[in-house]
Amino acid sequence: MEFPKEIVAHCPFCNKHTTQKLAVVKKKKASEFKQGQRRFRKVTRGYRGFPRPKPEGREKPTRRINLLYTCTECGKSHYRSCFRAKRFSFKGA
């Protein structure tokens, strides 16, 4: 799926349609201090094995694409709901 690098869309901060730059958001590193990660580290410590069964089958054929829309007038950014695509690129990139 190809997307343009800039589109005209509604800015919720300006409350009008403006030119917006698009960027793909990457997943950030998970925090070691979250409750689930602390529990996981506690369970896997020592001579015990993995606490959950290994996932079977292949990975999913598509991945979620999350786009960050940045307004060129006010400079503020917002998201829209993500979508799935097998391949994603910007036009001309």
What CATH number should be reported for the domain holding residue 68? Answer: 3.10.450.80
How many domains in the chain?
A: 1
Asked if the structure places residue 17 within a domain, the reply is yes
Q: Which residue has the tokens 């959950």?
A: 52
User: Which residues, 6+ apart, have CB-to-CB distance to 72 below 8 Å?
Assistant: 6, 18, 19, 20, 21
CA–CA separation, 88 and 20 (whole Å): 18
DSSP H/E element including 21: strand 16-24
Asked if the structure places residue 75 within a domain, the reply is yes
Asked if the structure places residue 89 within a domain, the reply is yes
Q: Mean pLDDT in runs of 10 for the chain (93 residues)?
A: 94 95 91 94 87 81 93 95 92 75
Residue 18 belongs to domain spanning: 1-28+63-93
pLDDT at 93: 60
Specify the 3-state DSSP secondary structure of 91. coil
Answer whether 0.85 is exceeded by the pTM: no
pLDDT at 83: 93
Asked if the structure places residue 24 within a domain, the reply is yes
Asked if the structure places residue 68 within a domain, the reply is yes
